[in-house]
Homo-oligomer: A and B are copies of this chain.
Amino acid sequence: MGKLEENKLQKKNRLMDTAFSLYTTKGIVRTTISDIVEKAGIAKGTFYLYFRDKYDLEEKLIVRKSDELFRHALEYSGYAGKTAPEEKLIALIDDILLQLKNDPHLMRFISKNLSWGVFRRAIIHSEVDYAAVFESIFETQPTDRKTLEIEVYTVLELVGSTCHTVILDSDPVDMDTYLPYLHRAILAILRSFREDPPVRPVSA
C-alpha cells in the first residue's frame, strides 16, 4: 500500500473510531459532525470525502463492529472443539455475550442492531463464510436450509434482545444470573426445532 493510500485509510479509521466513541457516549442524535471532526483533529471537509453523513458512518460502523464480534467468537470461543451442535452454538453465543459484557459501549452501540437485518448485512460484507459456518454446526441435523435459517433467526433475536437490558441495566437480573436461564431457553428452542415441524399455518 502506498504512503498516500495508507494515510487515507488512517484518516477514515480515525473518523470511525472517534465517531464510535461519541455515538456510544452522547448518542448519535446528539453527536454532530462538528463534534466528530473536532475530536478527531481532522478538517470538516475531509469527513465528506469518506461519508455522506453521520448515519452513513453509523452503518459502516455497524458492519465493521458486528463482523469483529463474530470473527472473535469464531476464533476464540472454542466452538469447534464441541461435539453437539447445541454446545457449539452456545459456545459462540457465550463468547459474544462475554465480549459485550466487557465492552458496554460496544453493547450499547450494537444492541439495537444485533438483529437479523444487520447480521445479514455483516454476512454480506464479511470475508467470513457464515453460511458455511452454520451449516457445519448443524451438519449432522436432518433439517432443511430454510428451517435452519428460521432457527438461527429465532435464537439470534432472543439473545440479542435479552442481553441488551440484562447487560446494560442488570434488569430484571444481572447477566451472570440470567445466563443459565438463557442457556436453558436456547436449548429448549433448539430441541423444539428437532421435533416434528409445525404444520398448520395460522391465518390472520
Q: A116-B165, A154-B162, A154-B182 are in contact. Are A176 and B192 (CB under 8 A)?
A: no
B172 touches A116 (CB 8 A): yes
A94 to B202, CA, bound (A): 10
Q: How many copies does the complex hold?
A: 4
Interface centre among A146, A161, A195 (most CB of B within 10 A): A161
B200 touches A161 (CB 8 A): no
Chain A: residues with CB nearer than 8 A to chain B?
Answer: 29, 94, 98, 101-102, 112, 115-117, 146, 149-150, 153-154, 157-158, 160-162, 164-165, 169, 171-173, 175-185, 187-189, 191-193, 195, 198-204
Pairs across A and B, CB under 8 Å, 24 listed: A29-B29, A98-B204, A115-B165, A116-B165, A117-B171, A146-B172, A150-B172, A153-B162, A153-B165, A154-B162, A154-B185, A157-B162, A158-B158, A158-B161, A158-B185, A175-B204, A177-B201, A179-B201, A181-B198, A184-B192, A185-B188, A185-B189, A188-B191, A188-B192
